[in-house]
Chain A
Amino acid sequence: MSGTVTFTVNGQPVTTEASDEPLLLVLRNRLGLRATRFGCGLEQCGACMVEIDGAPRFACGTPVEVLEGRAVTTPEGLDDPVGVALRDAFAAESAGQCGYCLAGILISAHALLTGNPRPSRDQIVAALDGHLCRCGAHGAILRAVARAAERLQGAEA
């Protein structure tokens, strides 16, 4: 298949060659968006997670040719109230050690809180269970997501 594909990344329209190149490499090498990370290329670790139409998806396994008309959000684009609350909460908890897994985790947490502003701990765990963290920072990461949810509820009330 040849031709082009048009979609949005963080609200900006992008047109690129419709190919089987993974979205991950297009974001990093062609669009200069480097927060989305290569971890395995096998949809096993979650380091490359992005939102596609609001749902968390592995960018390493998503060929750009399927993205016509879709909306992609990367970690750089998490600037809505949920994204800001998450970023602040992760900073406040010093959540993470090396930080490599965090970008993908922020995406899954963002998708979770956008659809479910009052998640239980088990729901947070389930939302993040596709993500691997090797440093053992899980506790602070779970606390940070819960903290962001609390702040968003406070803002609602």
Chain B
Amino acid sequence: MRTLPLSLQANPLLGQWLSLDTPGRLTISPGKVELGQGIASALMQIAAEELDLSFGRLTLRPVDTGASANEGITAGSQSVEVSGAALRLAAAQLRAALLDAAAVRLGVPVADLSPADGAILRKGAATGLDVWALADNIDWQQPISGEIAPKPAAEYTVVGTSLPRDDLPRKATTGGFIHDLTFPDLLHVRVVRQPFRLARLADLDEARLARRYPAVTAFRRDDFLALVGTDEHQVQSAHLESEFFTRWEDAGRWTPPETPGTAVLLPPEEDARPAPGNRRLSARYSRQSIAHGSIGPSCALAILEGEQLTVWSHSQGIFPLRAVIAKVLGRAVDSVRVIHADGAGCYGHNGADDAALDAALVAVAHPGRPVRVQFSRADELGRAPLGAAMATRIEAGLDAEGRIVDWQLSVTSAPHAQRPGFGGFANLTSAEALDPEALPRKVEDLPPASGGGASRNAVAIYDLPGQSVEVTLEAASPVRTSSLRALGAHVNVFAIESAMDELAALAGADPLAFRLAHLSDPRARAVLETAAQMAGWPDPNPEGTGSAKGLGVARYKNKGAWLAAVAEVTVDEAIRVEKLWLAVDAGLLINPEGARSQIEGGALQSLSWTLKEGIDLLDGRVPVLDWDRYPILRFSDVPEIETRFLINPNHPPLGAGEAAQGPVAAAIGNAVTRALGARMRDLPMTRERLMQSLLQA
């Protein structure tokens, strides 16, 4: 028996995925959510393809703990791989069941029948029957067996085409985001967040608040403080002045969680001995904590009606979120329903879940009143979980022929996996404000089956004798970190690919030739050679002339999409990326333009992280941030991008959203090194750090 996709093991029934209840339409109910990545369109294409329906007949049911398949968290570039695979098998089985039912109804052999945009055809001719008339004959409780073969890729007409996103025009000129939901008698809420982890609310001057904003009330439970009122302007204004009526103190309540310490991914060989001679590299590469920086700050709505609490959230995981909300509020899980509504672009575990608990807390204190929580810009940047600071050290040596003969990589990283419910802990700020005991006591890295967190892409894709890899999780800092797009892959690939260039230089070899000499994976070689050829490698610029190209390559999670990048940079007072060439192998593409948009968007976000982004802590705490203090990529920073996909439709589709971050960071770093004649190993490569490098060079 074939192994079913995980999503089908958890949600085995046909009716959990598909419905023909609405005449003329097919409704799909996946549990993966739209994060601004266009996944809704891709999943609808897959279902339309299997049932030979036109794309316009598809409806996506909002993801809802009351109605949808539970597919856990939407993360790790798994939506097309996992949810798409499940939907494909479900739709193939529905197609077979519909044709069987039609054969019985018409009294003709099933082999003569085919569906065409909902109509049942017999030998290509109309029968007067359609799939909606057959819906009552389908056993929607049948388990999806995975035994019905989906359509061969060669017959695809919908999958593999760049259908335009159906949600974007509406979002651009009307509404469509969670921020735009509204209800009569809405209460607006701003939470006055703890300025640092476990800060104690020592004083709340309610009289002062009442004098300034009589229409705003303070709702306080322990160290959770929300400002509530019907007039959003008043509530927002009061929130901006909160430092004048609150005083927070450090109660010394922070205790670091336990970590697993050092995990050995690849052990050193017994008789490993560093290569003799001086052709050795010993280098440390790092990044600071970075912010998610969604353009739309987190938002949530909630209402308590009788015993039923309904929460609207743009969380990546509404099912785990529901469980944590129920636990924190001491309610039965069944009495909590979480409905997904689209947020602004989501790149990982941001403030969405925190906002949802905030809304739930205020809603249960105001029965029957809908409440709406809106994060401020400062809270979105600095009080939501951050992407983890990390450092990757590489020691490696070359033999006389210039081949790598030993390689030791060690990662030290803050946690990448503190999502709601992980390890049995709430991992939500307001849970800690209500009860310091909610603080996580133990934190783990993501397991290798999930692609690892700090360990993501820590194993090099090269043929390296004596490759040893270890990962140390470091959780002493109270700064809250969790999953941000690509997780550890950003720094690990930056480190590995920087080291490859440094070793190539020691060997006196061209960086491309040096990589190819250590690389047997044919699909990795293919993207590398393609990107190099697109960019006109080798780089004609002599080293140290202020302009240069650099390259980087990786296979995301060592099991996902392959991507090679070449960056061309100029360096004078600052670093400017002039052009990026990207070669990608993501298997079959469901929606080529969607995949390109994910790849190029990921590349630009990585460019922003790599050149501009990092949070300087003040006394170990995250300062108040805005877009001036935390600058990101602007239109004037955007390079020209040329992307080529290496497509083999017989290879299964692979997620595209996180393949570019590591290789692009590395390509920029390697180009900067050539342009400058000095290497920058610490991210971000800001103007200040560039000046330091030049002074030290």
Check B597–A140 contact: CB distance below 8 A.
yes
From residue 106 to 125 of chain A, which have CB atoms closer than 8 A to chain B? 106, 125
Which of A34, A99, A129 has the most chain B CB atoms inside 10 A of its CB? A99
B634 near A129 (CB under 8 angstroms)? yes
Instruction: Give the chain B neighbours of A41 by CB distance below 8 A.
Output: 236, 376-377
From the candidates A38, A76, A100, A142, name the one contacting B345 in the complex (CB within 8 A): A100
Question: Do the beta carbons of A134 and B626 come within 8 Å of each other?
Answer: no
User: What is the CA–CA distance of A47 and B35 in the complex, to the nearest angstrom?
Assistant: 18
Beta-carbon contact of B36 and A98 below 8 Å: yes
B102-143 vs A, Cβ < 8 Å mask (1 yes, 0 no): 000000000000000000000000000000000000000000
CB pair B173–A97 under 8 Å, yes or no, is no
B contact residues around A68 at 8 Å (CB): none
Given contacts A42-B626, A96-B172, A129-B634, contact A137 B35 (CB under 8 A): no
Bound Cα distance A97, B346 (Å) = 10
Q: For A136, what are the chain B residues with a Cβ–Cβ distance below 8 Å?
A: 600-605, 608, 633
Q: Which residues of A contact B (CB under 8 A)?
A: 19, 21-22, 25, 29, 34-35, 37-42, 44-45, 47, 75-76, 78, 87, 90-92, 94-103, 106, 125-126, 128-129, 131-142
In the complex formed, the residue of B with least CB distance to A106 is B172
Provide the bound-state CA to CA distance between A125 and B165, in Å. Answer: 24
A96:B168 contact, CB within 8 angstroms:
yes
B597 engages A129 (CB within 8 Å): no
Q: Are A99 and B176 in contact (CB under 8 A)?
A: yes
Are B169 and A90 interface neighbours, CB within 8 A? yes
For residue B344, CB closer than 8 A to chain A, the reply is yes
Given contacts A42-B377, A94-B168, contact A138 B176 (CB under 8 A): no
Looking at B167, B608, B634, the one whose CB has the most chain A CB atoms below 10 A away is B634
Q: Are B36 and A29 in contact (CB under 8 A)?
A: no
- Chain B positions within 8 Å of A, measured between CB atoms, are 35-38, 162, 164-165, 167-169, 171-177, 179-180, 182, 232-233, 236, 293-297, 342-347, 374, 376-377, 593-594, 597-598, 600-605, 608, 626-628, 632-636, 638, 641
Q: Of the candidates A42, A90, A125, A138, which one forms a contact with B172 in the assembled complex, judged by CB atoms under 8 Å apart? A: A90
Knowing A34-B175, A44-B628, A100-B295, the reply to whether A87 touches B169 (Cβ < 8 A) is yes
In the bound assembly, the distance between CA atoms of A76 and B173 in angstroms comes to 5
Which has the most chain A C-beta neighbours within 10 Å: B36, B173, B233, B638? B173
Q: Using Cβ atoms and an 8 Å threshold, which residues of chain B touch A133?
A: 295, 635
Residue of B nearest to A138 (CB): B638
CA distance A137 to B638 in the complex (A): 10
Most buried by B among A35, A96, A100, A135: A135
CB-CB under 8 A from A87, the residues of chain B are 169, 172-173
**Complex Cα gap A56–B236 (Å):** 24
In Å, the complex CA distance between A21 and B377 comes to: 18
Compute how far the CA of A21 lies from the CA of B232 in the bound complex, rounded to whole angstroms.
Answer: 9
Given the contacts A25-B233, A76-B174, A40 and B627 also touching, CB distance less than 8 Å? yes
A35 touches B172 (CB 8 A): yes
Bound form: Cα–Cα A3–B608 in Å: 47
B-chain residues with CB within 8 Å of residue A29 when the two chains form the complex: 232
Tell me the bound Cα distance from A142 to B638 in angstroms: 10
Contacts of A140 in B (CB 8 A): 597
Label chain B's interface by main secondary structure. Answer: loop
Question: Which residues of chain A have C-beta atoms less than 8 A from B376's C-beta?
Answer: 41
Q: Give CA–CA (A95, B600) in the complex, Å.
A: 12
Q: Which residue of A lies closest to B294 (CB)?
A: A134
Q: B627 touching A92 by the CB < 8 A rule?
A: no
A134 touches B169 (CB 8 A): no
Q: Chain A contacts of B293 at CB under 8 A?
A: 134
B597 touches A137 (CB 8 A): yes
CB of A94 within 8 A of CB of B233, answer: no
* Pick from B36, B165, B167: contact of A135, CB under 8 Å: B36
Distance A57 CA – B294 CA, assembled complex (angstroms):
22
**CA of A75 to CA of B174, assembled, Å:** 7
Please tell me which one of the listed residues A35, A38, A131 contacts residue B297 in the complex, with CB atoms under 8 A apart.
A38
Question: Is the beta-carbon distance between B180 and A129 smaller than 8 angstroms?
Answer: no
Given contacts A34-B175, A131-B635, contact A99 B168 (CB under 8 A): yes
Q: How many A-B residue pairs have CB under 8 A?
A: 166
Shortest Cβ gap from A24 to chain B (Å): 10
Distance in Å: Cβ of B582 to nearest Cβ of chain A:
12
When the two chains form their complex, are residues A100 and B296 in contact, meaning their CB atoms are under 8 A apart?
Answer: yes
Interface-centre pick from A25, A94, A101, A126 (highest chain B CB count, 10 A) = A94
Bound: A95/B173 CA distance, A: 13
Known: A94-B164, A136-B605. A100 touches B171 (CB 8 A): yes
Chain A residues with CB under 8 Å of B296's CB are 37-39, 47, 98, 100
Top 3 nearest A-B pairs (CB, nearest first) are A98-B36, A136-B604, A136-B601
Q: What residues on B are CB-neighbors of A19 within 8 Å?
A: 233
For A95, give the chain B residue with the smallest CB separation. B168
Closest Cβ of chain B: how far from A16's Cβ, in Å?
A: 12
Q: State A102–B169 Cα separation when bound (angstroms).
A: 9
Partner of B605, one of A21, A25, A44, A135: A135
Collect the chain B residues with CB atoms within 8 Å of residue A39's CB.
Answer: 295-297, 377
Inter-chain contact A134/B605, CB cutoff 8 Å: yes
Contact between B172 and A132, CB atoms less than 8 A apart? no
Pick the most buried of A90, A125, A136, A142: most chain B CB atoms within 10 A of its CB: A136
Q: Which residues of B contact A76 (CB under 8 A)?
A: 173-174
Contact of A101 among B35, B233, B295, B594 (CB under 8 A): B295
Question: Could you give 27 example pairs across A and B, Cβ below 8 Å?
Answer: A19-B233, A22-B233, A25-B233, A35-B175, A39-B377, A41-B377, A87-B173, A91-B168, A94-B594, A94-B597, A96-B171, A98-B35, A98-B342, A98-B343, A99-B168, A99-B176, A103-B171, A103-B172, A125-B635, A133-B635, A134-B293, A134-B295, A134-B347, A134-B605, A136-B603, A136-B604, A138-B604
Assembly CA distance A50 to B637 (angstroms): 24
Distance in angstroms from A94 CB to nearest chain B CB is 5
Q: Is the CB of A139 within 8 A of B35?
A: no
CA distance A139 to B637 in the complex (A): 11
> What separation, in Å, do the CA atoms of A142 and B628 have in the docked complex?
24
Give the distance in Å from the alpha carbon of A106 to the alpha carbon of B172 in the complex.
8
Q: Tell me whether A98 and B377 are in contact in the complex, defined as CB-CB below 8 angstroms, given that A131-B635, A132-B632 are known contacts.
A: no
Residues of A within 8 A of B601 (CB): 97, 135-137
Q: Is the CB of B635 within 8 A of A138?
A: yes
Whether A97 contacts B635 by the Cβ 8 Å rule is no
Q: A25-B232, A29-B232, A45-B627 are in contact. Are A135 and B345 (CB under 8 A)?
A: yes
The residue on B at minimum CB distance from A98 is B36
Q: Give B670 Cβ to nearest chain A Cβ, in Å.
A: 21
Inside 8 A of A132's CB, which chain B residues have their CB? 295, 627, 632, 634
Residue numbers in A under 8 Å from B634 (CB-CB): 129, 132
CA distance A100 to B605 in the complex (A): 16
CA gap between A34 and B296 in the complex, in Å: 13
Compute how far the CA of A104 lies from the CA of B376 in the bound complex, rounded to whole angstroms.
19
Set of chain A residues within 8 Å of B162, measured between Cβ atoms: 94
Q: For A95, what are the chain B residues with a Cβ–Cβ distance below 8 Å?
A: 168
Residues of A within 8 Å of B177, CB to CB, are 37, 99-100
Give the CA-CA distance A135 to B608 in the complex, in Å.
11
Contacts of B603 in A (CB 8 A): 136
In the assembled complex, the Cα of A104 lies from the Cα of B174 at a distance in Å of: 12
Cα of A137 to Cα of B635 in the assembled complex, Å? 10
Chain A residues near B172 (CB-CB < 8 A): 35, 75, 87, 90, 96, 99, 102-103, 106
Closest to B169 in A: A91
- C-alpha spacing A117/B26, complex, angstroms: 43
Contact A99 B636, CB 8 Å, known A45-B295, A106-B173: no
Contact across chains for A102 and B36 when beta carbons are under 8 A apart? no
